[in-house]
Amino acid sequence: MTQQPNARAPKTLLIACGALAREVLMLIEANNWQHLELVCLPASLHNRPERIPEAIREKINEERENFENIVALYGDCGTGGMLDAVLQEEGVERIHGAHCYEFYTGTVAFEEIVEQELGSFYLTDFLVRQFDTLIMKGMGIDKHPELLPMYFGNYKRLVYLAQIDDPALQEQAKVAAGKLGLDYEYVFTGLGEFNDFLKTHTPSPTLSHEKV
């Protein structure tokens, strides 16, 4: 009889915001991390951040028995500490940072960007692609342009934090800045801290040995 290693099915579940899905899947595919499985909650939850903690708790309880490890790819995201309280109760770790902008730039770099101009509005690749849907239509500005100064009157610039170097997205971001009447600035971040976090906080699957 011989023994052959048999890797189990994916044993780490990543619970992420839908706004991060493309980037997380890029990392999983690039690194061939077959032990990771991704599930995303709707990005629209950011419009009602008080609902995020219980939505994540529900997903954790749904999936806990199917995975050895669960990790949350969420910042505080405007929950005022409620998400961290839920994750502590459930024994689930999350990536460090208040929001995805900080994940992509790193904490120190983001603080420097903020200090340059407090009145900054930030876009990621996802938000550039969804700008008209989430901002212009979602906030009602397309039908009621008089709302624009109410929402953005205190902003001075739009900062595009780019995950991929895509001239088409850069042009879309410039157009978005024009629609909001803001100065435009481009900062390339790449995938920031996601890669290192996933390497250190999502252990590879254990190997079992079956007799054949």
Q: Does residue 138 share a domain with residue 90?
A: no
For residue 159, the enclosing domain spans 101-188
Q: Are 175 and 200 in contact (CB under 8 A)?
A: no
Instruction: Provide the H-helix boundaries in 79-140.
Output: 82-90, 100-105, 107-116, 125-129, 131
State how many domains the chain has: 2
Judgement on whether residues 117 and 179 belong to the same structural domain of the protein: yes
How far apart, in whole angstroms, are the C-alpha atoms of residue 70 and residue 54? Answer: 16
207 and 132 in a single domain? The answer is: no
Choose between 27 and 194: higher pLDDT. 27
Quick one: 159 exposed, middle or buried, by C-beta within 10 A (0-12, 13-18, 19+)? buried
pLDDT of 208 reads: 40
pLDDT at 28: 92
Question: Quick check: 208 and 5 in contact, CB under 8 A?
Answer: yes
Stronger pLDDT, 63 or 208, i.e. the higher one: 63
- Whether residue 21 sits in one domain with residue 43: yes
Task: Please determine, for residue 211, whether its predicted confidence score (pLDDT) is greater than 90.
Answer: no
Q: What pLDDT shows up at residue 6?
A: 44
d(CA 58, CA 55): 5
Identify the pLDDT of residue 205: 58
pLDDT score of 195: 83
Q: State residue 123's pLDDT score.
A: 98
3-state class of 163 per DSSP? coil
Same domain, 16 and 82: yes
Indicate if 8 and 91 belong to the same structural domain.
yes
Question: Is 7 in the same domain as 89?
Answer: yes
- pLDDT of 5 strictly over 60: no
Strand order across the beta sheet in which 157-162 lies? 120-123, 157-162, 183-188
- 194, pLDDT greater than 70: yes
Q: Does 207 lie in the same domain as 140?
A: no
Q: What percentage of the chain reaches a pLDDT higher than 90?
A: 75
State the CB neighbour count (10 A cutoff) for residue 49.
15
Which residue type sits at 163? Q
Same-domain check for residues 91 and 106: no
Residues 24 and 66 grouped into a single domain: yes
What integer best gives the mean pLDDT of the chain? Answer: 90
Q: Verify that 26 and 55 share a domain, yes or no.
A: yes
pLDDT of residue 129: 97
140 has a pLDDT exceeding 60: yes
CATH number, domain with residue 28: 3.40.50
| For residues 171-192, average pLDDT | 96
CA distance 69 to 13: 6
Q: Measuring CA to CA, which residue among 28, 20, 32 is closest to residue 195?
A: 28
Strands (E), the chain: 3-7, 12-17, 36-41, 69-73, 93-94, 120-123, 157-162, 183-188, 207-211
Percent of the chain scoring above 70 in pLDDT: 91
The reply to whether 70 and 110 lie within a common domain is no
Instruction: Quote the pTM value.
Output: 0.84
